[in-house]
Every structure is written in C-alpha cells, then in structure tokens.
Amino acid sequence: MFLGEYTHSIDDKGRLTIPAKFRGELAAGLVVTRGFDQNLMIFPLDEWQDMAERILSRPLGDEGVRAFRRRIFSGAVDLTPDRQGRVVLPPYLRDFAGIDGEVVVSGMYNYIEVWSVEAWMAERETIENSGDTARWDDLGI
C-alpha cells in the first residue's frame, strides 16, 4: 500500500525518483497517466490492469465512457524503474501536471499521485478549509 507524502525533485533528464518505501510494489513496472486534477497518477501494473478491466467493461457506445478512456489511456505510459528507483516522465505528462523541479509524491493507498508543490499546497488548503464533512459522512467515514 502507498501511504505518506514525500518531496522529491524531477532532474534535468525528466526523471522522478520513486520514494524508497514505494519501490517494492513498483519494481515489476508501473503505469503513469494524467490525473483527474492537475497531477499525475502512478499505478502498479496489477492495479492498472484491474482498473483497465473495469473501464473496458463499460459500453463503448456511451460518449462519457469514450471520453474517459481517451483521458486515461491516451495519456498513459508503462515504465520500469531503474536500479536507483527512477522513472523518466515524458514531457507531455510533466507539462500536463506543471511539474518541473520539486514535486510532491503522495500515497493514495492503491496508487500514487505526483503534484507540483504549488498545486499540492493549493489542493491541501482547499481540502482543509472546505469543512465538507457531510461528503465524508456520505462515504460512511
């Protein structure tokens, strides 16, 4: 499982160092794609496959399903970390998330999010100031 928040840097070659605590679950490979916010999502291969199967089970005739498939699959890239636990993030993904230099790598239990420091701070402030505990009640929390 992926838990915690880590600050790392994207180097001049576009490489992200995966936090050491996360590397074991990603050693066999991973998939990076555009997130739902201004971020990237990193999935272990098995989690990606499970999600892909759920998406592919939806009717292709549904316009919303096609749009979702385009967003998730067209932006995805499968990668294998090098011996130092680094992956090269393609320029189009770095541009999408606005990441360059320092980033926040955040564990989301079954996947990882990568944010620019600025976007992550704004997201955290929004969450902490929302006072939207009613939504959490709807989740049964």
> Tell me: the pLDDT tens digits for 90-121?
999 999 999 999 999 999 999 999 999 999 99
Burial track 99-115 (b if 16+ CB lie within 10 A, e otherwise): beeebbbbbeeebbbbb
CATH of the domain at 52: 3.40.1550.20
Q: Residue 130 has what pLDDT?
A: 74
> Tell me: the pLDDT tens digits for 60-91?
999 999 999 999 999 999 999 999 999 999 99
**CA atoms of 141 and 133, how far apart (whole Å):** 9
| In the predicted structure, residue 139 carries a pLDDT above the cut 90 | no
Range of the domain at 77: 5-138
Count up the domains in the chain and report the number: 1
pTM of the complete model: 0.91
Q: Residue 141 has what pLDDT?
A: 66
